[in-house]
Amino acid sequence: MHFIKTATGCIAATDATPTEITPTWFRDSFWREQQLITGTSKGRYTTWFVRYTQQHWVLRHYWRGGLMEKFSKDAYLFTGFHQTRAVAELVLLEQLYQQGLPVPKPIAANIERFGWWYRADILIERIAGASDLVAILAHTTLTETQWQALGAQIAEFHCRGVYHADLNAKNILLSGDKFYLIDFDRGCFKKVASQWQRANLQRLLRSFNKERGKQPALAFKEQCWQWLLKGYHQINPRT
C-alpha cells in the first residue's frame, strides 16, 4: 500500500491501481462524460459501476448514517490517513484478498481533506456475474448444499479473526457457486472469540428476517438458517 499525494489529500494505491489515476476518477461525472458507467446500485445512496479498459469496478462514496447524518452527510474528523474509513477498508481488503479469501479486489481509495475534516471514496473490482442474496432469494431458492457452503465460508472468515461490521444478506454475493463478502467498512481483525462471532451470526439472521418482512415470498425459512449453521459449525464448532 502506498500513497499518491494530491492537491487536497491523497490516493491510497494498491498494486492494482493504474499509475495515471487522479482524484477525478472518484467522481461519477468523470465516468459519465466518457460513457463508461455500466450500471448503479441504489440503496440510501447510489453506488456506481464503471468500466476501465477491460476491467469493471465499483465506485462508492462514504456517507454517514444514524444521528451524525443530521449534522453532516459525508464529513468525518481527520486523525490521519491510515485512520480514515476508506484507507482502513482498502488495507483490510488487500490483506484478505492476498490471503485468498473471497472478497473484491481492492483498487484505490481517495481522501480529500478540508480543515479538520475529510471526505472519502473507494474503488474496488466488481465481481463478475454476482448478485446479492436478497436479489437471488426474491426469485429462487438455494439448495441445502449452498446454504451449508455459505455457513462454512462465514466460519472461515471468523476463524481467521475477520470481523465484518455489517454482515447482512445484501453484503453477501453469489457468483456461480461461490459466495463473496463485500463492504468491509469498519471491519477489522479481532482476537478469535465466540462472543463476537455469535453476535455477527445473529446480525445476519436479523437481516434475513428483516428482508423477509419486506418480501414475504423471500426464499428464506428456519430450515435455511439451520443448514447455514450446520455448515458453519463444521468449520468452527466452538461457536
Cell of 235: 468449520
> Is residue 185 annotated as part of the catalytic site, yes or no?
no
- Of residues 132, 166, 183, 185, which has the active-site annotation? 166
Q: How far is it, in rounded angstroms, from Cα 92 to Cα 84?
A: 12
Residue 225 · residue 205 · CB < 8 Å: yes
Q: Which three cell numbers stand for residue 166?
A: 455489517
Which cell numbers in the block locate residue 224? Answer: 435455511
Within 8 A by CB and 6+ apart from 86, the residues are: 12, 62, 109, 110, 111, 120, 121, 122
CA distance 96 to 203: 21
Amino acid letter, 226:
Q
Grid look-up 480514515 returns: 84
> What single-letter DSSP state applies at residue 74?
S
Distance from C-alpha of 125 to C-alpha of 123, rounded to nearest angstrom: 7
Please state, as a whole number, how many other Cβ atoms lie within 10 Å of the Cβ of residue 211: 18
CB 187 within 8 A of CB 101: no
Rounded CA separation 53/50 (Å): 10
Which residues are designated catalytic? 166
